[in-house]
Chain A
């Protein structure tokens, strides 16, 4: 008869890797009889003898909890392999030994393959093979590194040895107290039952009966051992009576005590591990009192970084597209005789102005995703959710809700889907509702451009304020809903795995940043191009015949201008009741970043062509290059300036900032888009001084009003039409009220 060895182990310990290394290409993959779980068998040649190798499903235990566990256990009990190789993750011995303990209890000859020893060593764990083997009753223990095929020969040798002389000197947890007494009782009864139970090792079966293992009890029912089952039931009752504990818990507890002794004598841990260092950081970062201010400070830094560092590039891209490309495309069109045709207008005011509007915020997104990537990769993001749990709880909300909300900082659509992690339908709906107030990546360019136009170096503060406002509005909404329509019991506490902190990996961060920026551009590029063309058309069609022929109409008199103009009065109390602002907000329903491209396009049509200083292509190219160099230098300067600016947050401290181009500290010449925004908002607000207030009100509106169509349709798909409409109405109302309050109160305070 061929000898058989089975590989057992927790999921992901490298079992399949070792299986492949042992059997090479001589494998057969099928299913376990009657199950959909994959069964892998292979052959291994040992000293000229063929041995069958079976890969058991990965499990943490051998109870009757899952099909995998039952398959693994039944195989060992019924098929009786000659030996079992327990593949163990050396870096997490404690958890892995639970399964090994159960294998020992089963009484099969076993070998421990201590895999992932490379990782264990890197973590500074020293595991004594001899100590481990002794503590486990002398079974062979072999070190392996599966993915590098290290230790294979030793493993094969150990297998050969055990196959030769199957080792049965088993140790196992010595169940003490009443548990031990009851196990002895049952063991005796099992031995008395004779051959019907010879398949089972008596002490193991006794333990299983006391654990009340459903699968085993079902098996025994067909064997007519009623008396044994009765005894087992009585035994369980006696244990519960005298200890007040579930026998299964007591058994597990004693297994843990056994494991503790094994680990204690076989493993040496470093004093200062990565884990303990992480714990020290967490003591500060997730502290009851400091946690929240630290979270806010980090957010402040992120937005200082994103907006101030990207601003010089933003200006440069604006100049590059709106002046250089615009001008020279115009020149080329002039050359080929299309100077003032509608094609030229479509290209310049439709395509270039619109798509240029997207490119303008590439730098912003780049730096946002860089900052987010660093927070994510370092392990801080999980802590943010952890810290926010406390705040959420004050409001009666489920702390876990903050996880989807964090995703909302990137994009609202996956945030809506991520609410599926919440178990309760009410919490899900509420969380999705709140997640739309988290400021997504698409809203950021709007704040950054307004910030640069109206607030210069303080634009980071505007951006930060918008993000915080989003969180506050979400929390207030949640609080109100929880106490009115959505009354429910206090949220249950939860446990979270906080990954250890690590140095962010530049390659991972770069990859994430690149993928996100690209994803964003692909999506928004398509939407924006379509919107730009539609918008150009709508702005070229006159509203009335009197207002002029196609493409010669004043933008305000175009179809787009007139329709937007109808809605504009509703926004007047908020300080931006112009057709331009209203129209852009309407296009923003498609995707919020479209607001910027629409404004760019509207102002491109409106503004008179920049006064033509005659310059040659060469001169323009040189100027654009020089400006790029300046942008790089300014970015460096701004990065450095984050330090004094942060320190200046402390009251009465006022550090100076670095300035590479003192001549640029004079109020800078605004770029075209910025200049247009300044003018337009000063006009609509009533005075240049009120302009910035109206701009803030506009940003508040952008933050809070209906999220884009994709998010709305995700809401509909997940929660139905009623919720979708409720959300649209609610967000519009909140946005309008908030914008009006900001503008009116702002005027009272600052004018």
Chain B
């Protein structure tokens, strides 16, 4: 018997391209919310890493938010061997711009 958690990892591993949470949910026959839960689990175990492009660019003198940063979706990815699995917090700094 394979647990749902294992199946989840295998599906990502074997995928030939990007997967949406929805597609993954369909593949595993669960709700998208459950997929989020599976992600939580593997993030805790250090097998999956989250990353999201920054939404703040507060150091530039123009305004508190760089208007050119789009709100990009959250992505998850398998942590490869040799990676430490740290999630990087991104704070770009474009103060030299203005």
Q: Is there an interface contact between B73 and A498, defined as CB atoms closer than 8 Å?
A: yes
CB-CB under 8 A from B37, the residues of chain A are 60, 94-95, 98, 256
Which residues from A are CB-within-8-Å of B3?
245, 249-250, 252-253
**Are A516 and B96 interface neighbours, CB within 8 A?**
no
Q: How far is the CA of A279 from the CA of B33 in the complex (A)?
A: 14
- Inter-chain contact A98/B77, CB cutoff 8 Å: no
- Which B residues touch A80, using CB under 8 A? none
Q: Mark B31-57, 1 if CB is under 8 A from A, else 0.
A: 111101101110011000101111001
Distance in Å from the Cβ of B58 to the closest Cβ of chain A? 12
B18 closest partner in A (C-beta):
A389
B5 touching A60 by the CB < 8 A rule? Answer: no
Cα separation A414 to B70 with both chains bound (whole Å): 9
A494 in contact with B53 given A256-B34, A389-B17 (CB within 8 Å): no
Report the minimum CB–CB distance from B12 to chain A (whole Å): 6
Of the candidates A279, A282, A385, A710, the one whose C-beta lies within 8 Å of that of B72 is A385
Of B24, B33, B92, which is within 8 A of A92 by CB?
B33
Chain A proximity mask over B45-85: 1 for CB below 8 Å, otherwise 0: 10001011110010000110111111111111110100100
Q: Assuming A393-B17, A417-B54, is B96 touching A717 (CB within 8 A)?
A: yes
Contacts A393-B17, A495-B39 given; indicate if A417 touches B94 (C-beta within 8 A).
yes
* Set of chain A residues within 8 Å of B20, measured between Cβ atoms: 282, 286, 386, 495-498
In angstroms, Cα B62 to Cα A423, docked, is 29
* Contact count band on A: 35 or more
Flag the segment in A398-406, A581-589, A739-747 that touches B: A398-406
A399 touches B98 (CB 8 A): no
Shortest Cβ gap from A483 to chain B (Å):
19
A681 to B16, CA, bound (A): 48
Closest approach, in angstroms, between the C-beta of B61 and any C-beta of chain A? 9
Identity of the chain A residue whose Cβ is nearest the Cβ of B24 in the assembled complex: A495
Residues from chain B with a CB closer than 8 A to the CB of A411 are 66, 68
- Residues from chain B with Cβ under 8 Å of A61 in the complex: 40-41, 44
Q: CB-defined interface of A404-441 with B at 8 Å, one 1/0 digit per residue?
A: 10110011011001101111000000000000000001
Residue pair B40, A523 in contact (C-beta under 8 Å): no
Minimal beta-carbon separation of A400 from chain B (angstroms): 6
> Does the CB pair A516–B68 fall under 8 Å?
yes
* Cβ A414 vs Cβ B40 within 8 A: no
Q: Is the CB of B72 within 8 A of A494?
A: no
Question: How far is B70's CA from A607's CA once the two chains are assembled, in angstroms?
Answer: 42
A566, CB-defined interface residue at 8 Å: no
Closest to B98 in A: A523
Contact of A94 among B12, B33, B65, B76 (CB under 8 A): B33
Say whether B17 contacts A390, CB under 8 Å: yes
| Contact among A95, A253, A385, A713 for B40, CB-based, below 8 A | A95
Closest to A517 in B: B67
| B68 & A400 in contact (Cβ 8 Å cutoff) | no
Q: Which of A65, A423, A495, A515 has the most CB of B within 10 A?
A: A495
A95-B34, A407-B70, A519-B67 known; A63 and B21 CB under 8 Å?
no
Q: Tell me the bound Cα distance from A386 to B17 in angstroms.
A: 9
Separation of A95 and B40 alpha carbons in the complex (Å) = 9
Residue pair B90, A420 in contact (C-beta under 8 Å): yes
Nearest-Cβ distance from residue A514 to partner chain B, whole angstroms? 9
Interface contact B92-A420, CB-CB below 8 Å: yes
Asked if A159 is at the interface (CB within 8 A of a chain B CB), the reply is no
Report how far A97 CA is from B14 CA in the complex, Å: 29
How far in angstroms is the closest Cβ of chain A from B18? Answer: 4
**Hey, what's the 0/1 contact readout for A52-90 against B, CB within 8 Å counting as 1?**
000000001101011000000000000000000000000
A494/B76 in contact, CB under 8 A: yes
A393–B58 Cα gap in the complex (Å)? 33
Our pick among A404, A497, A519, A717 for the contact of B53 (Cβ within 8 Å) is: A404
Q: Which residues of chain B come closer than 8 Å to A381, judged between CB atoms?
A: 70, 72
Verify B22–A275 contact, CB threshold 8 A.
Answer: yes
What 0/1 readout, one digit per residue, does chain A (496-537) give for beta carbons within 8 Å of chain B? 111100000000000010011011001100000000000000
A518–B68 CA distance with the chains assembled, in angstroms: 11
Contact of B73 among A404, A497, A512 (CB under 8 A): A497
* A252 to B4 alpha-carbon distance, docked (Å): 9
Q: What's the Cα separation between A386 and B70 when bound, in Å? A: 15
Q: A61-B40, A94-B37, A420-B88 are in contact. Are A494 and B19 (CB under 8 A)?
A: yes
A429 to chain B, nearest CB (A): 16
Chain B residue with the shortest CB-CB distance to A515: B67
Complex Cα distance, B16 from A559, in Å, reads 58
Question: Judging by beta carbons under 8 Å apart, are B92 and A519 in contact?
Answer: no
For the complex, is A248 an interface residue (Cβ under 8 Å from B)?
A: yes
Q: CB distance B70 to A496 under 8 Å? A: no
Q: Which residues of B contact A399 (CB under 8 A)?
A: 17-18
Query: A512: which B residues are within 8 A, CB to CB?
Result: 67
Is A492 engaged at the interface, CB distance under 8 Å to the other chain?
yes
Q: Give residues of chain A (459-488) contacting chain B, Cβ–Cβ below 8 Å.
A: none
Least CB separation from B19: chain A residue:
A495
A713 with B96, Cβ < 8 A, contacts A250-B3, A386-B20, A390-B17 known: yes
Which of A65, A94, A418, A493 is close to B54, meaning CB atoms less than 8 Å apart? A418
A635 proximal to B (CB < 8 A): no
Contact present for A522 and B62 (CB under 8 Å)? yes
B38 to chain A, nearest CB (A): 8
Chain A residues, Cβ within 8 Å of B49: 423
Task: For chain B, residues 1 to 17, give those with C-beta under 8 angstroms from any C-beta of chain A.
Answer: 1-6, 12-13, 15-17
Q: Assess A494 versus B77: contact at CB under 8 Å? Given A61-B44, A253-B4.
A: yes
Write out the residue numbers on chain B whose beta carbons fall within 8 Å of the beta carbon of A250: 3
A421 touches B83 (CB 8 A): no
Task: Give Cα A498–Cα B76 distance, bound, in whole angstroms.
Answer: 12
| Selected contact of B19 from candidates A94, A407, A421, A496, CB within 8 Å | A496
Residues of B within 8 A of A420 (CB): 54, 88, 90, 92
- Name which residue of chain B comes closest to A288, CB basis: B17
Q: Does A105 contact B (CB under 8 A)?
A: no
Across the interface, do A414 and B12 meet the contact criterion of CB distance under 8 Å? no
Q: How far is the CA of A493 from the CA of B75 in the complex (A)?
A: 10
Closest 8 CB pairs of A and B: A417-B92, A411-B68, A410-B68, A65-B44, A94-B33, A389-B18, A253-B3, A494-B77
Q: A residues touching B (Cβ–Cβ < 8 Å)?
A: 60-61, 63, 65-66, 92-95, 98, 243, 245, 248-250, 252-253, 256, 275, 278-279, 282, 286, 376, 381-382, 385-386, 389-390, 393, 399-400, 403-404, 406-407, 410-411, 413-414, 417-418, 420-423, 441, 492-499, 512, 515-516, 518-519, 522-523, 710, 713-714, 717
Q: A410-B70, A493-B77, A495-B20 are in contact. List 15 more A-B contacts (CB 8 A).
A: A60-B40, A248-B45, A253-B5, A400-B77, A413-B68, A417-B90, A421-B90, A493-B16, A495-B18, A495-B39, A495-B77, A496-B73, A515-B63, A523-B97, A713-B96
Offer 10 A-B interface pairs, CB within 8 angstroms, sorted by A: A65-B44, A245-B1, A393-B16, A417-B93, A492-B80, A494-B19, A494-B78, A496-B19, A522-B62, A714-B97
